Each structure stands twice: as structure tokens, then as C-alpha cells.
Amino acid sequence: MTTAPLTTPGLPAAATPGPTPPPRRATRPMLLLAVLFATIGLLGTACTLIPNTGPDGDAFYTPPSPLPAGANGDVVWYHSTTATGAPSSDAWQIMYHSTSALGQPNVVTGVVIVPTAAWTGAGPRPIVAFAPGTQGLGDQCAPSKSIATGTGIGGGEVNAALNKGWAVAQTDYEGLGTPGEHTYIVGPALGHAVLDSVRAATRLPFLNLNAKAPVAIWGYSEGGAAAGWAGEIQPAYAPELNLKGVAAGGVPADLVAVANNLDGGLGFGFLAAAAVGFDTAYPELNLNSYLNDAGKTAFAKGKTMCATEAIATFAYKHVSDYTTSNPLKTSTAWQARINASKLGTVKPPTAEFLYHGDQDEFIPLAQAQALKASYCAKGVKVRWQTYGGDHLVVAVSGVNDATAWIGDRFAGTAAPSNC
């Protein structure tokens, strides 16, 4: 919910040169080799088909038919791209297998960015799973598309990670770029997409990223919720990942409290997007049955917008402007699904760095403080930091502290706590 800008297993990355990108289009020998390895069927210890290079442009985002079988995190295909504005690095769009909020298999796209300089630190090159903030609902808003133009949201965090020599795996989330609607702010869907982006990054052999590399998860706003969810579900969903910590800022942890704050406010567009996201993840909610004619027209347009346009379009609107009845108030099904995306009900496995603005106009500070208190009560080592400023300002203010905190987790330094 922010509009602020963008090894092969067993071999340590320090023992290999920087990643060598494959040619943009596969040559016939490469395709024959890919078929040979796919027939052999093993990559490292996972039964993983060697992926093909994908098509150019928007065609990349349409999954092949039939979709090849694969485990969560297996790469369907990849394509070289450009990380405009990033430090010296190589970038690849990826399409990978993941899981919906209902536990059904799906495919998600994203981008992996690796510094061109060889990693010289101890052990394998660390990986930051960066969960981007709100991009919008339109497919053109997908981070793996906007990264080539330098217009993506979250560029400051990505650059900070790359400057440290860390690799970055950044998901587009379910339905952003790919067919269907984005399951915006739906906790389980976000967490799955984030964790599987790390798996996918380690399963492209030419990237030289080790499956046992230290991993940190970082996100702000929608990305903060995604990071929080990825941390909470990691032990059950992706236990093999070597997770060292979670940094999450501007976190919408309690969506009921957030929705009450957004209704009638500047950020109503976020609430409208959340309604679409939950309706997409859980079809039984039947959003359309609650919308009046104005709502049906406005929400259809909202599905095509990026974040800044959506904020301007929906600013200061109310749920009552678009509905015949408010499902957040009248529907137990809606209430149950939204409450199921509340963070803080389980103990995450690692330390957390949580940060928030004391003047955040979109995401109430009080519900973020409640998340901190919940984690502290469960014995989590939480470093809590409040910054002066609104939502967009703190998206920038927290970058240096979050980067330093992640670096300490990668270095094995004991995590601080100010619970």
C-alpha cells in the first residue's frame, strides 16, 4: 500500500564467477541440451525440469499450455531483462510455480537480480526476498515489467540490497501480469508468492545461487504484509529455506482496522483494491452482488489502474458510494476471510525489524504497534522503530536501518530486541 518508488546447490557462490546470462533467444544446441537435462530430470536434490527461455514482451506472462508439471518454486521459464537504475547487476524475469490462498497450484511471475561482481563474503551469496508495495491491479503495473523502465515501486530497497552484494528475488504476486486478477493483500497468497520466488532464484543454475544461502525477507506496506506472512508460514511452507530475519515496514497487519481508516480517506483506492483481491482469492464472497451500478463501473476500471491513478480516482470515496450494503459490516463470510489474513496470530521463526510512521495516513500506527506487542508476547526478538512522517516518507526513512539490520542477521550477529 505504498506509492513510493522502485548455484548450483552445494557450491558457494564465492567459488564461482558472477552469473553469466544465457542468450536472449535459445539456440538449437541450447534447446537440445535443455531437453536432455529435462529428460534426465534432476537438478540438485529436487526433481526439477530445466526451464526454457520465455517469449518476449507481454507474451512472457501467458503461461504455456499445457503447463509443465512442477513443485512450488520450480521455474516454468525465464527471460533476460534490464534493471534500470540498479547498481551493476543482471536481471531475469521468471515465471514459477506457487500456490493460491486456497492451496491450489498456480503460476506467478517476478524478477531475480544478481550483482555482476562476484560475491566475496563468507559462505554463499545471501538472497533478499523483496516483497514490493502496492503497484495497482493493472497487469502493466507488475514489478517485473516496470523494472526495465525504472518506474517500479521499491527501487530504494532493491538498490540497497544490491549495493551490499546480495541477490534480490522480487515477486509480482499472484495475478499481477499473469491471467486473472491480483489477490491484493490476501495474506496466504502473498506469503506463498514471496517464498517461492526465493526457491525459483536458486533453481536457475546459471545464477550460481545456493539453495542453502542465507535469506532475509523485506517489504513495505503491502510488501510489509507479504513479508510478515512469508515469515509466519515459512516453517510449514518452505522449511528448507535458510531464513535469517524479516524486515517489514508500514505493515497492514489488521485489515479490519485498516479498512475502517481508509473508508472516506485519501487511500480509499487501497480499500477498493483489497475488495477485488479478496473476491478473487475467495470467489464465494461474490463482491459483485454487493456493488451498485456505480460500483460495478468504478471497480471494473480500478482493475486496470496502477497505484497512483487509483489513489487519485478513488480519493475520499466511501464504501457506501459503491455498494448496496457493506459486506465488511454485514457478511460473516467476508469478515471471516479478512480476519484470517490478520498477522500476529502465530510466532514467526526468526527475529523481526518492524517500522512505521507516526503520521501514517493509510496504515494506522496503533494496529502496527499491536502486531509488535503480539510478537513480543510470543517471545520474538523484535526491533521496533517509529519514524517521523507519513506513509510515503517512511518508505524511504527506514531503508538504511532495515539494510543494516538485515546485514547483521546475515553476519550472524545476535538480534536486538526492544520489546
So what's the pLDDT on residue 376? 98
Instruction: Look at residue 151 in the predicted model and tell me its pLDDT.
Output: 59
Q: Phi-psi category of 250—alpha, beta or left, where left has phi over 0 and alpha has psi -120 to 50? A: left
Q: What is the pLDDT of residue 152?
A: 57
Q: Average pLDDT per run of 10 along the chain, which is 419 residues long?
A: 36 37 39 34 37 85 93 95 82 96 97 95 96 95 84 76 96 96 97 98 95 98 98 98 98 97 97 97 97 97 95 96 95 96 97 98 98 98 97 96 98 96
Q: Rounded CA gap, 160 and 405, in Å? A: 12
Q: Which residue has the cell 531475480?
A: 112
Q: What is the pLDDT of residue 411?
A: 97
Locate 255 and state its grid cell: 485489515
* SS3 (DSSP) at 348: coil
What was the pLDDT predicted at 14?
34
Question: How far is 183 from 172, CA to CA, in rounded Å?
Answer: 11
CA-angle at 327, arms to 324 and 333, nearest 5°? 140
CATH 3.40.50.1820, the chain: domain bounds: 13-253+342-411
Round to whole Å and give the CA distance between 230 and 172. 14
Selection from 190, 206, 204, 203 nearest residue 241 by Cα:
203
Sequence ranges of the chain with CATH classification 1.10.260.130? 255-339
The reported pTM is 0.87
Residue 381: the pLDDT is 98
CB of 273 closer than 8 Å to CB of 175: no
One-letter amino acid identity for 119?
W
Indicate the fold that domain 255-339 takes in CATH: 434 Repressor (Amino-terminal Domain) (1.10.260)
**Cβ neighbours for 379, distance < 8 A, ≥ 6 positions apart:** 347
CATH number of 13-253+342-411: 3.40.50.1820
pLDDT the model gives residue 198: 98
Q: What is the pLDDT of residue 176?
A: 96
